[in-house]
Chains A and B, each alone.
Chain A
């Protein structure tokens, strides 16, 4: 029983450490904060 508890605690700790590592050191960047849909003008459509 004690062995099972130790394994659970170890697994949770490992999961927590891994998540913290990704959270703090991850390179995911920031989602695009500007842009989106923009209407094309006549100049852009026939100006080329």
Chain B
């Protein structure tokens, strides 16, 4: 560790409780992860956040945000009341150092480094939440299932907006049906620059669709489909691409006839997808949305449930990763590597996400209203 946590401790009552979380990658989404951790209820807040990023200025910015929140907490609690402990800030040049002293690691770095980081973290006895949205990397992470089980730890794969929130919505809709026949995921918008680069890569790469109980590889940018998202996104043309949601959903619904995912793109996006990115990506590519359409049978009839979220992908992905981390620490996740489609109670997680400002929409019917009532 380059900076010991002890030098930074600001404790309201001098006691150390709670858990320690390592946040690897402090870009646009990583910054929102810090804010979401700080916005967590007092009893669920981490006692220590270890910040890891290649760029020192990002670490300084995140540390300043945490210290400001600590100061506000000190003022609010009047010094020694309320029993809450202010969050300690740690920094590490080498993620492996941070993993040894953390209960859980949230990986929000660029795609490509998650599998190696996850191996280090699991071997250090640390749970892992990965936000990778690259299909090959999702495959690599799922292979770590036996390692995670061996160390009795959970490795949550694809805990972002899509995959992640898309998996939770699909599972929630699937729970309303007797059997699931087809799942279609559509996504619009990007989070930070790393997400935008992955979006660019996805459009030029082959996508994997589960069709008739086997994988079919389809050319990226093909298969135009008009998807209607909640406002302010509205209708967008969506295309196939290298998207990992079907990989994670197929593990939960292997008997489905069709599982596919598409991503929104303009004519220019498709035209330039074969070229290097011609200009620097936006710092935040939101607002965006995801839409999950699940078709299945219930009481002998075929029904379709459509769920969606319209939000900034960076904010909603951060909220999903933090909720996933808290669910793991609460013992709600089994050991091993799995996506959020295997989460036992997706409704509870979606409800918590709603409290964090992620509104969940359904299209048209009153199915949920009548059943809940």
Contact = CB atoms under 8 A, between A and B. Distances in A.
Q: Select the residue from A32, A36, A45 with max chain B CB neighbours within 10 A.
A: A45
Contacts of B364: 32, 35-36, 38
B354 interface: yes
B351 A39 contact: no
A43 interface: yes
B360 A40 contact: yes
Interface of B, helix, strand, loop or mixed by DSSP:
mixed
Interface stretch (B92-100, B214-222, B258-266, B365-373): B365-373
A5 interface: no
Contact of B230 (A37, A45, A46): A37
Contact of B359 (A36, A39, A44, A47): A39
B348 A46 contact: yes
B363 A42 contact: no
Given A37-B230, A42-B354, A47 B372 contact: yes
A45 to B, nearest CB: 4
Contacts of B368: 40, 44-45
Nearest to B291: A37
Interface string B341-373: 000010110110010000111111100110111
Contacts of A48: 175, 347, 371-372
Nearest to A47: B372
Contacts, number: 54
Q: Chain A interface residue count: which class?
A: 10 to 19
A39 B365 CA distance: 11
A36 B348 CA distance: 24
Contact of B351 (A32, A35, A36, A46): A46
B186 to A, nearest CB: 14
Contacts of B362: 37-38, 40
B308 interface: yes
A40 to B, nearest CB: 5
Contacts of A42: 351, 354
A45 B361 contact: no
Given A44-B368, A44-B372, A36 B363 contact: yes
A45 B350 contact: yes
Contact of A43 (B350, B363, B372): B372
B351 A37 contact: no
Given A35-B363, A44-B371, A46-B348, 8 more contacts: A32-B364, A37-B230, A37-B308, A38-B363, A40-B354, A43-B372, A44-B369, A45-B351
Closest 9 interchain pairs by CB? A47-B372, A44-B368, A35-B364, A44-B372, A37-B361, A45-B351, A45-B347, A37-B230, A40-B360
